[in-house]
Structure 1
Amino acid sequence: MRTEMLLTNEPPASVKSAAELYAIAFEQAETAARRYGELATTGDESFKLVRSVFVILEQRELQRARALSLACVALLNKHPDPADLKWAPSDLVPAEELSELAGSSLSTPYGAWALAVRHRERGFVFWTYVAALAEDDAVRAAAESMAREALNDGNELRRERRLAWRHERHLSAGDGLQDKSSEIPLAALLESLLLKDIVAWSQDLPAIERGHLLAVTGGDLTERLPVPAPMRDMAPDSDTIEDIRCRAIRRAEQLSSIYLDEADHAQDQPQLELALKLAAHAITRLADLRTMAAASAR
């Protein structure tokens, strides 16, 4: 499973308006363009091939910023305005990551494309969280659209990453990235245990809250996963509700990470699409569980 969690990109608060949403998206795109642009003009001759990747990435982000600005004008009759920001947008393209790549003599185009894929994965996670937390239907729909855009961008960047991998290792067109065993069987077990935790969590809640919590399990995409035979949870019967809530959230986090990892290592389009659907569902579920846990603790 991935060593770096992408799930730390949860927004600190819900986005209340379309103006705020476009201000966040525009700020993130401009920041990404600026940071990619710095690497597009730095380094010695040995960094030339890597630098060319960042020239492309900078242009992609500038184009995205322009598209966001035009969409904001069309919808709100104004350009994205930093004054509409209620909190500092999550940093999806950390400067320290880029500086590490720029400062390494072992940097390659593959490494640059792989980093760009990770950045758009962060965008997918971030906007999925925004959609899950949104109270306004229009904001939720716009955030879902931005999450889909991040997915499409990620797919395009994965193709570039794969081409760079083959070029650097002189692989044939039929070869791919290193093999990785699937963790879907583990995910199926975790889904089963998470369901038990959610049911246990719901037992002492008032009827309305219990219904909201159990609704998190409804219409689950995991119906398409192989479900293992029922197993006894190893946790002691003396667990408190707080223990159960914390365990449920840990399992929900692990499942989100597994599905993101499966998407990153997908070998074909159907596998990728299923993993991304599972990831989107898992991230939304995680956001819901965190919100309900915070409400229960008050």
Structure 2
Amino acid sequence: MREEPLLTVTPAPIATLPEFYAVAFHQAQFAAQHYGAVAAHVAQGSQAISSVFETLASRETARADAIAEACSQICGAPPDLKKLPTTFRDLVPAQEVSDIAQSGLSTPYAVWALAVRHRRRAFIYWTYVAALTRDSAVRAAAERLAREALSDGNALRRERRLAWQSEHKYATEDEQSDRDASAALLESLLRRDIIAWSQTLPPAEGRRLLHVGMPGFSSHDVILPEDFETPALGEIEQIKQRALRRAEQLSNVYLDEADRAKDQSSLDFAQELATQSIARLAGLRAAAASASEPA
């Protein structure tokens, strides 16, 4: 779905260096934990994606260690997490990381792009902290972390660009075809996959799938293509995954169209398509998960 603004809540003012280091350490520690947990989870599914998450976790672990060392040198003690403000907000939410890991379209590029977003958020966050504090030492420390986040973001963008170039160079013919396809063609291909999927289900379940995957159509409206063949049992899983991938692509296409809209009418239309597409994707994912559960 559409990403929320980078910061949805203004950070609480930080009054002292011990409080500052507690926040900075906790942010880096949480980021390392969230990246690391996903790296371990996806290791068997995609070594390339896992490697990116491992790199990000390592970077955040090193950042946490450096912050802890600085705190010990300047404050005379390691970071005290009891000093966290009550309105503390995580800069690398576990849900954002998990969503990327679970997406059927995840690639190293998508992971690097998420990391860029996280460092952009950190830059904004520490800029806010520097602006809101009345303590000159806290301001200087926050400005230092903001500059670090900006530098990190530039480095991560280079990695993102290299991943993009690599993925486009080595993409399979089917993947490249899907990526370049128009929304109309993707809708047509998705509809064919959903019809094929529905034909392998009991009649009531097939009708429900058609209702979810083709809003506005009833089972009586569906006309099978002349060359349609009911898929073999071994093909259905491939059809399901392809349908989910195309449904997710279409959600992204419509969201991108909303971003590029130049007038209110175009924006409303694209947002309506995006809303319907996202609801369809959720329904198809639920149907796929239900079918995979033991009876």
After TM superposition, the score normalised by the length of structure 2 is 0.55
Aligned to 1:33: 32
TM superposition shift of 1:3 = 5.5
Aligned to 2:98: 99
TM superposition shift of 1:4 = 3.4
Query: In the alignment, does 2:37 pair up with 1:43?
Result: no
What is the 5 A alignment of 1:223-234?
Answer: none
Counterpart-to-counterpart distance in 1, 2:68 and 2:126: 18
- Are the aligned partners of 1:9 and 1:122 in contact in 2 as well (CA < 8 Å)? no
Aligned to 2:10: 10
What is the 5 A alignment of 1:233-272?
Answer: none
Query: In the alignment, does 2:180 pair up with 1:142?
Result: no
Aligned to 2:54: 55
TM superposition shift of 1:7 = 3.5
The one-letter code sitting in structure 2 at the alignment partner of 1:115 is L
TM superposition shift of 1:48 = 1.6
Counterpart-to-counterpart distance in 1, 2:107 and 2:166: 11
Counterpart-to-counterpart distance in 1, 2:87 and 2:10: 12
What is the 5 A alignment of 1:212-227?
Answer: none
- Are the aligned partners of 1:37 and 1:54 in contact in 2 as well (CA < 8 Å)? yes
TM superposition shift of 1:157 = 0.7
Gaps of 5+ in 2: 171-295
Counterpart-to-counterpart distance in 2, 1:118 and 1:55: 17
Counterpart-to-counterpart distance in 2, 1:100 and 1:82: 28
- Are the aligned partners of 2:130 and 2:138 in contact in 1 as well (CA < 8 Å)? yes
The one-letter code sitting in structure 1 at the alignment partner of 2:20 is L
Aligned to 1:166: 165
TM superposition shift of 1:10 = 2.0
- Are the aligned partners of 1:47 and 1:107 in contact in 2 as well (CA < 8 Å)? no
Aligned to 1:76: 75
Q: Structure 1 23/168 Cα, relative in aligned 2: closer, same or farther at 3 Å?
A: same
Counterpart-to-counterpart distance in 1, 2:65 and 2:50: 23
SS, match of residue 14 in structure 1: coil
The one-letter code sitting in structure 1 at the alignment partner of 2:5 is M
- Are the aligned partners of 2:43 and 2:50 in contact in 1 as well (CA < 8 Å)? no
SS, match of residue 42 in structure 1: helix
TM superposition shift of 1:106 = 1.5
Give deviations 1:188-230, integer Å, cap 9, x for gaps: xxxxxxxxxxxxxxxxxxxxxxxxxxxxxxxxxxxxxxxxxxx
SS, match of residue 41 in structure 1: helix
Counterpart-to-counterpart distance in 1, 2:154 and 2:9: 20
- Are the aligned partners of 1:28 and 1:89 in contact in 2 as well (CA < 8 Å)? no
Counterpart-to-counterpart distance in 1, 2:8 and 2:43: 34
Q: Structure 1 44/140 Cα, relative in aligned 2: closer, same or farther at 3 Å?
A: closer
Structure with greater contact order relative to length (CA < 8 Å, sep ≥ 6): 1
The one-letter code sitting in structure 1 at the alignment partner of 2:33 is R
- Are the aligned partners of 1:121 and 1:154 in contact in 2 as well (CA < 8 Å)? yes
Higher helix share: 2
Aligned to 1:118: 117
Counterpart-to-counterpart distance in 2, 1:44 and 1:143: 35
Counterpart-to-counterpart distance in 1, 2:84 and 2:140: 19
Aligned to 2:132: 133
The one-letter code sitting in structure 2 at the alignment partner of 1:104 is S
Report how many aligned residue pairs link the two structures: 169
- Are the aligned partners of 2:42 and 2:49 in contact in 1 as well (CA < 8 Å)? no
The one-letter code sitting in structure 1 at the alignment partner of 2:7 is L
The one-letter code sitting in structure 2 at the alignment partner of 1:124 is F
TM superposition shift of 1:88 = 4.3
Q: Structure 1 148/44 Cα, relative in aligned 2: closer, same or farther at 3 Å?
A: closer
- Percent pairwise identity: 53
After TM superposition, the score normalised by the length of structure 1 is 0.54
Give deviations 1:35-61, integer Å, cap 9, x for gaps: 000111112644221011001001000
Gaps of 5+ in 1: 172-298
- Are the aligned partners of 1:134 and 1:140 in contact in 2 as well (CA < 8 Å)? yes
